[in-house]
Structure 1
Amino acid sequence: MKNESLDVVLIIISFLLLIVFYPFIPESVALHWNYLNTPDFYASKLYLFTIPILTVFSFIVMKKLPRLKALNKEVEFTRHHYADFVSLIIIFLIYVEGVLILSNIYFSPFSLSDFLLPAFSVFLYWTGLNLNKIKRNDWIGIRTPWSVKNDRVWVNTNIEGAKLFKVLSIITMLSLFFDGYQWIIFLSSTATVAIVLILFSYFDYHSM
């Protein structure tokens, strides 16, 4: 209930943020940057309202998802982690909204990577802190074809994932020092972690 109240407040903030700054935003806004941090897509500033609308959509969908399954007893233990995850997603969307608003009002040489990658780093570290606390369920955690079948494999995979996500968080932050290669480092590191965890889960399951 506390998280739901917080989420509603955050959604209201996302709308108020855009309404307050709307008169100062140019009619045409940059909405996408290429890997060189150069704007390559412009649209009407009305498109910025898709972000607060997306916060509402995310809130509704993610709150309803656990109720679609009959295995709610599995969800109970992880409910507060799931609620925190929903709140974090909404906060991230508001952060992106703020970055887009400010970048278009105070348009200057702008590195989207410098703003987005630290946010990804925080999210990854938070994930690393919580992965090893989550019991096997249908919604959150590292769900491979093998971890979802066995509690031991689930625990081992998520413990390993917790460590790797923290490492990935640090790599993501350090990538900011490699101008022009930030997204290559981030995406390749993320793919590597995903592959390692899939292989770890597979071999752990077949070692039983």
Structure 2
Amino acid sequence: MKKNIWTWLIIALSFIAGIISYSSLPATLPVHWNALGEPDRYTGKMFALFLIPALMVLLMLLFKYLPKIDPKLAASSSAIKSTDIINQVLMLGLAALQGFIIAYGYGVKLNIQMFVIPFIGILFITIGNYLPRMKPNRFVGIKTPLTLNNEQVWRKTHQLSAKIFFGGGFLIIVTVFLPSMLQLISFLTVVVLVSILSVISSVLVAKKN
């Protein structure tokens, strides 16, 4: 309950930040940046300022009601706690992104890549830390026919995938120090490899069982 209060507080502060800054910001604000970190898409400030808080509300409700949809997820207190923490990291990242957009509107030229890449790295590390606590369910985790049909394969796959996500998260953070184009290629390569290796791990685990 306390965790939900803090999450709703983050959402409320995001709405308040949008309301307070609305009148003093330019009519259009950037909402997308290219591979070089340059803004390449602008939209009206109403959409730019309140899309993220609205998305945060949707994510909050999604994480709140998933356990009610899947009885297996609802039966695991450790899985619910893990999804709550992952949700909080997402909320903090989205709130920071909204702050980034507001700062840009006030003329503070920040490097979006120096924010997004480390955040995704931290998110991967967080997921890696909590994957082993996930119990079999159809919404959260490495969901393949092999893991969903065998609880032991699920458990060992998530233990192995946790190391992949954890290591991948650190590699993602390291890419922020590379030159821009190499940074993008390295970042995307790590993300794709982590995703593929996590699925492959279920095949490798299933062959051993």
Give the % identical residues: 26
Gaps (5+ residues) in structure 1? Answer: none
Q: Secondary structure at the match of 2:30?
A: strand
Task: Judge conservation of contact 1:74–1:137 (CA < 8 Å) in 2.
Answer: no
1:56 matched to which residue of 2?
Answer: 57
Matches within 5 A, 1:1-208: 1-47=1-47, 48-71=49-72, 74-108=75-109, 110-180=110-180, 181-208=182-209
User: Amino acid of the residue matched to residue 32 of structure 1?
Assistant: H
| TM-score when normalising by structure 2 | 0.91
CA distance in 2, matches of 1:14, 1:150: 42
- Higher mean Cα deviation, 83-92 or 189-198? 83-92
Q: Secondary structure at the match of 1:71?
A: helix
Q: Secondary structure at the match of 2:23?
A: helix
How far did residue 22 of structure 1 move?
2.1
Aligned residues: 207
- Higher mean Cα deviation, 26-35 or 70-79? 70-79
Task: Judge conservation of contact 1:75–1:137 (CA < 8 Å) in 2.
Answer: no
User: Amino acid of the residue matched to residue 67 of structure 1?
Assistant: K
| TM-score when normalising by structure 1 | 0.91
Q: Secondary structure at the match of 1:40?
A: strand
How far did residue 45 of structure 1 move?
0.8
Root-mean-square deviation (CA, aligned residues, Å) is: 1.7
How far did residue 207 of structure 1 move?
2.9
Q: 1:72 to 1:185 in 2, by over 3 A?
A: closer
- Higher mean Cα deviation, 192-201 or 73-82? 73-82
CA distance in 2, matches of 1:77, 1:100: 35
Q: Secondary structure at the match of 1:163?
A: helix
- Higher mean Cα deviation, 5-14 or 178-187? 178-187
- Higher mean Cα deviation, 140-149 or 29-38? 140-149
User: Amino acid of the residue matched to residue 153 of structure 2?
Assistant: V
Q: 1:73 to 1:8 in 2, by over 3 A?
A: closer
